[in-house]
Amino acid sequence: MSLRLGLGVFGMQSVPQRPEHHVKLYADLLEDAELAESLGFDSIWLSEHHFWFDGYCPADIAAAGAILGRTKKLRAGTAVMLLPMHSVEKVAADAATINRIGEGRLVLGVALGYRDVEFDGFGVRRKDRGRLMDSMLPRLAEASRAADPSYPVYVGVGTAVAAQRAGRLGLPLFADSTMNVGELQEMLAAYNEAAATAGIKPPAKHALQRDVFVTDDRERDWAELLPELRYMRRQYGSWSAPQEAAEPVDAYVERLSGDIEAKLKNLVMGSADEVAGELRRFEALGFDLIVCRSQFGNLPRPLLRRAVEGLGRVRAMVER
């Protein structure tokens, strides 16, 4: 199996710097899906959050349905669905149906979720999320295998504990974008050990999410990209508490946006040749699907288009 590239990650956010209506954002998404299909991408990926001011996509399977209606070959994936705050029976029934009428093109990535307000909106205790995941994941895996056609379920992981959970079930990983090569190797080791202990032969290949930006003019694109990345950093940062107890939240969020290089240490940015070389390193670790996040929040359309077309050239280089 050769290395496949997915295009992501679409959160459908109406960001403050470009507060477009969601009907425009979803029309753009479907246009981007058609572009991705024409460029030969394996898949396009959606992200999920709930009850946020920018209208972050809360219903990935419904959005995937629209993509599968608009396209013929492209797969649509969730990166990631926050499983413990859902009903696993509903997810399984929705996924099986849309995968069937989408002619086997749905891919589910699932993970824990972390925002208190999202769990609370659905009447779920955040502290129960691990226990819920332990209960739901085997049921979803069984349902995915029983579906006709079956659909893949990847487990989103950023820690060894999460990797061990996936390993015990023999489910493939969907590795978080923030991990470096050393951390990925450690996580894969924890995964394989948990699988061996459970007496399960795990899949040899996994998926990885990576922040990727292909450019033929780094200086020009970085100047345009930086404010968008700063905003994204502030947003995700605001969903976590300050590490220092006395630090006010506003100051914490401001500090995060100034500390952008630390968060983006794993951003792969460069020419198509350079990016292709970087991505091949991950293939050697055991990742045969790399979901390249080139959409950060809601980039200006011309900037995103250039990045996607550049990534299309990378795809042609890495897919043999």
Binding site for other proteins (CB under 8 A): 12, 14, 22-23, 26-27, 29-30, 50-59, 61-66, 68-70, 86-87, 89-90, 92-98, 100-103, 116-117, 119-128
Name all contacts of 273-281 with Cβ < 8 Å and 24+ positions apart: 273/317, 275/212, 275/214, 275/310, 275/311, 275/314, 276/314, 276/317, 276/318, 279/3, 279/5, 279/210, 279/212, 279/314, 279/318, 280/3, 280/318, 281/181
| Nearer CB in complex with other proteins: 213/231 | 231
Q: How far is the CB of 14 from other proteins (least distance, A)?
A: 8
Min CB(34)–other proteins separation in Å = 10
Nearer to other proteins, 92 or 256 (CB): 92
3-state helix, strand, coil in the chain (%, to 5): 50, 15, 30
Cβ distance to other proteins smaller for residue 90 or 265: 90
CB 36 to other proteins: min, Å:
15
Angstrom distances, CA of residue 16 to CA of 21, 54, 110, 227, 232: 11, 8, 28, 12, 11
Hey, which residues does 78 pair with through a beta bridge?
46, 108
- Residue among 102 and 158 whose Cβ is closer to other proteins: 102
Contact 210, 292 (CB under 8 A): yes
Comparing CB distances to other proteins, the nearer of 37 and 288 is 37
| Residue 44 Cβ vs other proteins, minimum distance, rounded to whole Å | 14
**Smallest separation, CB 315 to other proteins (Å):** 24
